[in-house]
Amino acid sequence: MPEDAQHTRRKIIHIDMDAFYASVEQRDHPEYRGKALVVGGLPEGRGGVVATASYEARKFGVRSAMPSKQALQLCPHAIFVRPRFAVYKEVSQKIREIFRRYTDLIEPLSLDEAYLDVTTDKLEIGSAIEIARQIKDAIKTELQLTASAGVSINKFVAKIASDMNKPDGLTFIGPSQLAAFMEKLPVERFFGVGKVTATKMKNMGLHTGADLKRLSEDEMVKAFGKAGRFYYQIVRGIDNRAVQPHRETKSVGAEDTFAYDLTQLDEMNPELDRIAETVATRLERYKLKGRTVTLKVKYHDFRQITRNQSVITPVYIAAEIAQIAKQLLAVAATDDMKVRLLGISLSNFGEPQRKAEPHTDQLRLF
């Protein structure tokens, strides 16, 4: 049992859809079912990246974020399709409608996963395991898709549990199992431990939760800074993070990777117009206006830069967003540039500060 006994009564579910984009495509296109399917950039030309892959493709080593050309090498018979994000968003909304039958405490992490706090559920079922089972059954029956669920007393453990028996899994890790589970967990599976930190831990002889648990809090902080205090707690099953149904939106954006490198502003500006339209649509959906426009540029050699401009009057119209992005791009442009990706995002949604800013009409590039 974790040391923060006051939180052992929370009932947290993490729902993670199984190969979501690929599963939607296989549902909507019977000819794809049972076949190795890759959703993402096509491998022709310069190629893009894999957004997700069906389980049939994953057997050959195809993974998300992998270059499509590499995916084709690993799985030559794979079928490649472009993502249909509008469809995935529509399906995601239907999934959340199912969640809302049981609780309003829903924290979406992406289109295909979310945390639910069912400590008190609307239907007074009382059992988080039963609620997770009903949610999975509803998704399968109503949407013809499968989801995996993790159930535990906090977000950290529930998320790990949902990944343990994919696809179509349901895993419960209760208070009596928690200590043994955390001690066996490899350090790279701990929340917040990236590749660099995991390597550092292993170089110190720390390979599992049991190894981490031998260190005092002071030793953890000395070795890993402020994050050490978090690691000290999490290895003991302490995760007091609440499910946040209304997480503040920090930015809204869109980007696109092109089939070939763009070298002229005349080619790039229409793309910025199109991306700005997508951003404006998303702003309208969330009823937001932003005062900082950020341009993202990725070059053929994968170098990446960002440039931004802040304005006093919030913007939300596509033409205004595109105009600012084009100005930023013109300043950043070089004669020999080869651009493979452009992106635009808006942020700074709060009320503007009314203090004097003598240079707000100038581009602020950094």
Using CA atoms, how far apart are residues 288 and 290, in angstroms rounded to an integer?
A: 7
The sign of the dihedral angle between the CA atoms of 23, 28, 30, 31 is negative
Strand partners, 79: 37
CA distance linking residue 6 with residue 192, whole number of Å: 24
> Does an H or E element contain 15, and which?
strand 12-17
Contact 271, 256 (CB under 8 A): yes
277 in active site:
no
Q: Is 261 annotated as ligand-binding? A: no
- Bond from prior residue into 167 cis (ω within 30 degrees of 0): yes
Token pair 């500006």 is at which residue?
Answer: 269
Distance of alpha carbon 295 from alpha carbon 253, whole angstroms: 10
Tokens of 215: 């260190």
Q: Which run of H or E residues covers position 201?
A: helix 195-203
Catalytic residue among 25, 107, 113, 271: 113
132: amino acid identity, one letter: A
Tell whether residue 112 is among the known ligand binding residues: yes
The residue length of the chain stands at 366
Q: How far apart are CA 72 and CA 50, in angstroms?
A: 10
- The SS3 of residue 37 is strand
In the block, tokens 């069906």 appear at 54
Amino acid at 339: V
Q: Which amino acid is at 315?
A: V
Strand blocks (E) in 153-244: 170-172
Q: Which residues are catalytic?
A: 113
Please give the annotated binding residues, written as ranges.
16, 112
- Annotated binding-site members for Mg(2+): 16, 112
